[in-house]
Amino acid sequence: MHVVANRLQLTLAILKPDCMACPHIVSEIRRLIINNGFLFVQTKIVKLSRPEAEEFYQIHQEKFFYNRLVTFMCSGPIGVHVLARDDAINTWRKLLGPTRVLRTIFEEPDSIRGRFGLTDTRNCAHGSDSEETAKQEINFFFPNLNIEKWKKEVGQFLKENGNVVYDEKLCEHIPQR
């Protein structure tokens, strides 16, 4: 496992209800995340209430797709992951591929959305789009995670060649202190 300790960045990834309904797709995406050098910092599987989904996507409340997006996002369990890597935000969005699946399946067929997305709304997974939104989104799901403290402590630990082990059951990398 190689992680660039001094440029760690955190992002929020969500495996959406369409994806979570297919265990083999969940496994494949988790494998891709690990093979692309990310650490799973925190994981939880939750089902959002409608008000929670509305709050998470409030930035889109004026968009034509808002209602169907919120309905979809609270239709079943979602897998929520805080991921860490150097350049985590852009790297995860690049792996995901563009938002609109019906174009992405032609333009970036090897991306996650290209391979597994169903429609423009049911597009398999989410990724934060900036440091600012990553912070807000991580805080939305994991209010007790102190991002700066985590980066400092785990960054230092990794720089000193500290080892992390992936716990498949928890879907988290655990520092071996």
- Residue 113 or residue 151: which is nearer to ligand IDP going by CB? 113
- Residue 132 or residue 160: which is nearer to ligand IDP going by CB? 132
Q: Are strands 39-46 and 125-127 parallel, antiparallel or unpaired?
A: unpaired
Nearest approach in angstroms of CB 159 to Mg ion is 32
Across the strands, what pairs with 44?
Answer: 80
Nearest approach in angstroms of CB 120 to ligand IDP is 4
By a kind-dependent CB cut-off of 5 to 8 A, residue 159 interacts, out of ligand IDP, Mg ion, none, with: none
> Six-digit token pair at 127?
């990724």
Nearest approach in angstroms of CB 65 to ligand IDP is 4
Q: What's the CA gap between 83 and 26, in Å, rounded?
A: 15
Give CA separation, 166 vs 37, 38, 41, in Å: 12, 11, 10
Q: Which of residues 118-177 bind ligand IDP (CB under 6 A)?
A: 120-121, 123, 126, 129
Beta carbons within 10 angstroms of residue 116's beta carbon:
23
Only one of the segments 11-19, 69-77, 128-136, 159-167 lies at the binding site for Mg ion (rule: CB under 5 A); that segment is 128-136
Residue 65 lies near ligand IDP (rule: CB under 6 A):
yes
> Six-digit token pair at 77?
């369990």
Return the closest-CA partner of residue 158 out of 145, 171, 177.
177
Alpha-carbon torsion angle 60, 61, 62, 64, nearest 10? 80
Nearest approach in angstroms of CB 44 to Mg ion is 20
Residue 75 lies near ligand IDP (rule: CB under 6 A):
no
| Cβ within 8 Å of residue 142, ≥6 positions away | 42, 44, 82
- Binding residue (CB under 6 A) for ligand IDP from 75, 90, 99, 139: 99
Residues that bind ligand IDP (CB under 6 A): 60, 65, 69, 99-100, 120-121, 123, 126, 129
Residues that bind Mg ion (CB under 5 A): 129
